[in-house]
Structure 1
Amino acid sequence: MKLLDIATILNAQVITANELLDYEVTSACGSDLMSDVMAYVTENVVLLTGLINLQVIRTAEMMDIRAVIFVRGKQPLDSMIELALEKNIVLMTTDLTMFPACGKLYEAGLKNGFDSGR
């Protein structure tokens, strides 16, 4: 699924990297624990989180996550936006809470982005 489709499904505001909205992902994960993201995330995933700090962008970079969606209408800090622009990471925000946002993406065909075998 393209990031543009995800933005539409979640009625999300795209904050950075509009030029990357054609990027395709196959799964999504929702977590506020970046240690879980680093331990269990699969590849080609979009991250949904309510956490607002630079560690989110650093984790996305380390795990090759090309898009981060902030739930509950949270807005990233300017420093996060700057780093995401530098690293070509798409940032979006949605007013949905974590559970319905993940549910909508699951219903639309994205699979679970966490490796349940670990």
Structure 2
Amino acid sequence: MTVSDVQKILKAQVICGEDSMDREVHTACGSDMMSDVLAFVKDQSVLLTGLVNPQVVRTADMMDMVCIIFVRGKQPDDAIISLAKERDIVLMATPYRMFTACGLLYENGLKGGCDIV
């Protein structure tokens, strides 16, 4: 799946990173707790969150994520957008709530990377 596929599934607005929409993504996670993302997330490509602050971009960058999706239509400010551009991270906003957005992505083949079967 590509970032562009994710955008279509979630009916998301692309905020920045239009040039990176063809990047491959294989897994995703949804969290508002960046400490949980740092502690428990491994090999995730997409971060879904309702938290809108620079720490989200810094966390995604540390975890080598390629895309951040803000749920519930939340919009980042210019400082967050600038930071994402510097780090080459796609930012999008979806009108869906986190539960729904994660479910749609899972239903369309994007996995969570969980080791439990």
Runs of 4+ residues over 3 Å off in structure 1: none
Amino acid at match of 1:29: C
Map of 2:35 onto structure 1 = 35
CA RMSD of aligned residues (A): 1.1
After superposition, give the CA deviation of every residue in 1:11-49 in whole Å (9 maximum; x if it has no partner). 000011101000011111000000011111121420000
- Where structure 1 has 5 or more consecutive residues not aligned to the other structure, the ranges are none
Write the mapping of 1:55-66 to structure 2, written as runs, cut at 5 A. 55-66=55-66
Instruction: State whether structure 2 residue 59 is matched by structure 1 residue 94.
Output: no
- Where structure 2 has 5 or more consecutive residues not aligned to the other structure, the ranges are none
Map of 2:10 onto structure 1 = 10
Q: Secondary structure at the match of 2:38?
A: helix
Map of 2:67 onto structure 1 = 67
Amino acid at match of 1:34: M
- Structure 2 CA distance, aligned partners of 1:32 and 1:116? 22
Residue identity over aligned pairs, in percent, reads 58
- Report the count of equivalent residues: 116
Contact 2:29 2:44 in 1 (8 A): no
Map of 2:22 onto structure 1 = 22
Normalising to structure 2: TM-score of the pair? Answer: 0.95
